[in-house]
Structure 1
Amino acid sequence: MIDLKQLKRTSLCSNALMVLTSIHHIYGAVIYSTPWRLHVIFLSAPVLVATIILEYLLKKNDNKVLFWLYAFIVLIPSLSLIGLFEGIYNHILKDIMFYAGFSEETMLSMFPPPTYEMPNDFLFEFTGVLQGVACVLLTVTFFKLIRGRLKQA
């Protein structure tokens, strides 16, 4: 039987990450005049919708196929692509390296413009770092959910 409490926590973390990412990218598109940043909406919106629908279905019927589809959607786009890459690499690592004084050459080789901006806007960096924090919370809840499911097998 699926742990509904853990399912709800995992969905909440994944959905919060998707909403935060959308806000972050919309804000970045506006302040940096880079409308291409809005591409993330094409990932975050479907993941958000799929997570909500699959959570609802799993609460009604503990179906293994639906569960592993849900797990895949949370793991790949939400946790890996957005959380680890966007939050941890693009913001937490970049900010740590920037404020630790890494050379400009190193920073530009790891975070080349125009894809990346060096920290120059508090709200943009803050929401970016929050994606990393949300990723950590999602990782904890996700692996508790998976561990609980595997104990049943």
Structure 2
Amino acid sequence: MIETGPLQPVEFAKVANEEGRYAMSSSGHAQSRRTFVTAAVSVSVAGLISSGHHVYGALAYETPWRLAVSLWIPAFVLFVLSMLFLLWKYANRPVANIAAWFVLFSGVVFQAGFTLFECVYSHVLKNILFFGGVSQEVLLRLFPAPTYHLPDNMLFELTGVAQLAGFWAAWCAWRVFQKHLIRK
């Protein structure tokens, strides 16, 4: 390894390797790996929760469209994981910049929007209003059948609320994007 002087105490200190490419220092590398692994795990867990919730809802309420949603969620997760891999593997190449923007738009913007609608509106707000005593007329106006069901299935509602994990996944994806920008 070529010595370039003392490493700066920043997370992504760059050190030239034998091929002339830049690599992170060992402490920056470990921290970065932890960030990537956390993002990959959180995106996977959020996807499993959401997909499982929609499969269960499709069976419990005989709504095939929920099954369709449950099938595209794994594709979304694989896409985000692929972008995370490209960003990790090719950190200092142009493909990493493209992957970083895909992580931002799919892993952060889309994931946060999906969680906001599918979890916060469709389950958290619905349950707060339902158990808070809001009239059935108002509930049915806000949550019309057959798309929505008023709380009558604890497992469905709990897995719906558990989709809050999507916000953690979005935050972790944001951290990966942010660290990529810092590195530039």
Alignment partner of 1:136 is 2:170 = no
Q: In 2, distance between residues paired with 1:56 and 1:89?
A: 32
Alpha-carbon separation, structure 1, partners of 2:155 and 2:84: 31
Tell me the equivalent position of 1:65: 98
- For 1:50 and 1:24, the matched residues in 2 are separated by 20
| Partner SS for 1:119 | coil
Q: What is residue 149 of structure 1 aligned with on the other side?
A: 180
Larger Rg: 2
> Match of 2:6?
none
Q: Which has the higher helix share?
A: 1
Q: Sequence identity of aligned pairs in percent? A: 30
CA apart distance, 1:94: 0.9
What is the CA deviation profile of residues 31-60 of structure 1, one whole-angstrom value per residue up to 9, with x for unaligned ones?
111112112134302111112222222221
- The aligned counterpart of 1:6 is 35
Distance 1:142 1:54, change over 3 A: closer
Unaligned runs of 5+ in 2: 1-11, 13-28
| Cα distance in 1, alignment partners of residues 70 and 60 from structure 2 | 17
2:84 and 2:170 mapped to 1: Cα distance? 17
Contact 1:17 1:78 (8 Å CA) reproduced: no
Is 1:77 aligned to 2:106, yes or no?
Answer: no
Residue-by-residue CA offset, 1:99-122 (whole Å, 9 max, x unaligned): 111111211111111000111111
Q: Which runs of 4+ in 1 moved over 4 A?
A: none
| Structure 2 residue identity aligned to 1:19 | L
What residue in structure 1 maps to residue 59 of structure 2? 30
Aligned residues: 151
Show the counterpart of 2:5: none
Residues 135, 31 of structure 1: alpha-carbon distance in 2 compared, 3 angstrom cutoff:
same
Please, what TM-score do these two structures have when normalized by structure 2?
0.73
Q: Which runs of 5+ in 1 are unaligned?
A: none
Q: Which residue of 2 is the match for residue 123 of structure 1?
A: 155
- In structure 1, what residue type is equivalent to 2:125? L
Calculate the TM-score normalised by the size of structure 1.
0.87
Aligned residue in 1 for 2:69: 40
Alignment root-mean-square deviation, CA = 2.0
